[in-house]
């Protein structure tokens, strides 16, 4: 009679748990990389497959992952460079700012391939970058919806018929913000119609 070997259920649960933990850790690293965390991006560089690279939405991280290695230990050299604490501007959360992280990454790539970091990372653009939420707050402080309404009314045949319906903020490239105003007004025949107008602003 053949012996039967039973795998303890606890072992199966443990293995399954480890696989799940590895999966969620990988997913978390991708999320952090898409938020601009270059350390998470560097962690992905060692084993990022094409599928993982395709899920990266952060431009700086995408450029880093697409950089071709030059030499034997390029990937590891980027993560082993000691951080210069005296020149780092840390946020209250303890993480390096996006600008300083960009400078650090650019310097690391330049050490491996001179000039490549300057080509890939335009850190000065990041320094002046305003997050979408900050742009919306600035738009509200500056009354951009009201300014957009003034532009709309000026183009109407009957400005007094203008009625505000809704507004939407849309963040665009290069610190831009579109203010999309939905409104109603009377047309040439006296009928009320609903329209949308988008005003473009830069910060």
Share of the chain above pLDDT 90, in %: 29
Q: What would the pLDDT profile of 65-108 be if each residue is shown by its tens digit? A: 766 444 444 333 333 333 333 333 333 334 456 778 888 888 99
Domain residue limits, the chain: 13-128, 133-202
Look at residues 133, 136, 195 and name the one whose alpha carbon lies nearest to residue 161: 195
Query: Do the strands 163-172 and 192-202 form a parallel or antiparallel pair, or are they unpaired?
Result: unpaired
Please give the Cα distance from 38 to 36 (Å, whole number): 6
* pTM more than 0.85: no
| Helix, strand or coil, per DSSP, at residue 134 | helix
Domain 133-202 class, CATH top level: mainly beta
Angle at 141 between CA 125 and CA 154, to 5 degrees: 100
Q: Please list the residues that pair with 202 across neighbouring strands.
A: 176
- Is 64 within 8 Å of 41 (Cβ atoms)? yes
- Is 161 within 8 Å of 178 (Cβ atoms)? no
- Whether residue 19 has pLDDT greater than 90: no
- Is 38 within 8 Å of 52 (Cβ atoms)? no
Q: What would the pLDDT profile of 117-130 be if each residue is shown by its tens digit? A: 888 888 877 777 78
């Amino acid at each position: 009679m053949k012996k039967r070997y039973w795998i303890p259920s606890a072992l199966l649960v443990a293995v399954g748990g480890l696989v799940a933990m590895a999966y969620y850790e990988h997913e978390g690293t991708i999320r952090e990389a898409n938020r601009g965390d270059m350390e998470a991006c560097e962690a992905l560089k060692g084993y990022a497959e094409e599928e993982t690279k395709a899920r990266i939405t952060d431009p700086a991280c995408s450029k880093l992952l697409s950089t071709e290695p030059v030499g034997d230990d390029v990937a590891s050299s980027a993560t082993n460079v000691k951080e210069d604490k005296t020149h780092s501007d840390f946020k209250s959360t303890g993480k390096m700012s996006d600008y300083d992280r960009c400078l650090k990454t650019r310097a690391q790539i330049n050490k491996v391939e001179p000039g490549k970091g300057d080509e890939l990372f335009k850190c000065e653009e990041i320094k002046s970058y305003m997050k979408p939420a900050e742009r919306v707050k600035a738009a509200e402080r500056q009354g951009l919806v009201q300014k957009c309404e003034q532009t709309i009314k000026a183009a109407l045949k009957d400005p007094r018929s203008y009625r505000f319906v809704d507004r939407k903020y849309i963040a665009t490239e290069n610190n831009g913000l579109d203010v999309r105003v939905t409104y109603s007004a009377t047309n040439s025949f006296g009928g009320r119609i609903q329209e949308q107008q988008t005003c473009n602003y830069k910060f």
